[in-house]
Amino acid sequence: MRQISSAENLFAKVEGDIGDVNGVLQITAIRVNFQLKAPRGSEEAVNRVLESYADFCPAYQSVRNCIEISWELELIEE
């Protein structure tokens, strides 16, 4: 994805769950569905980046021990 501009090619739908945790409403889960437009033949590189992106994502690192987070990617090869 380093050679793919994410500004124009990466979209995300985000859903979350809110639950009662000890009498306090909290976000308990977040699901992210990415959609990425990328050149044909880039699937292997994109999958490598997706496997390690959480290690470098400041948002994920900030909440990973508090909120269950999952993500999926739909790759659209052009």
- Domains in the chain and their CATH numbers? 6-77 (3.30.300.20)
pLDDT digits (tens, 9 = 90+) for 58-69: 999 999 999 999
Q: Does residue 2 register a pLDDT over 70? A: no
Write out the two tokens for 23: 């009498």
pTM of the predicted structure, to 2 decimals: 0.80
Rounded Cα distance, 58 and 64, in Å: 10
**Helix/strand/coil for 39:** coil
Q: How many CB atoms lie within 10 A of CB 3?
A: 8
pLDDT, residue 28, reads 96
Strand arrangement of the beta sheet that strand 10-21 belongs to: 10-21, 24-38, 68-77
Is the model's pLDDT at 1 over the cut of 50? no
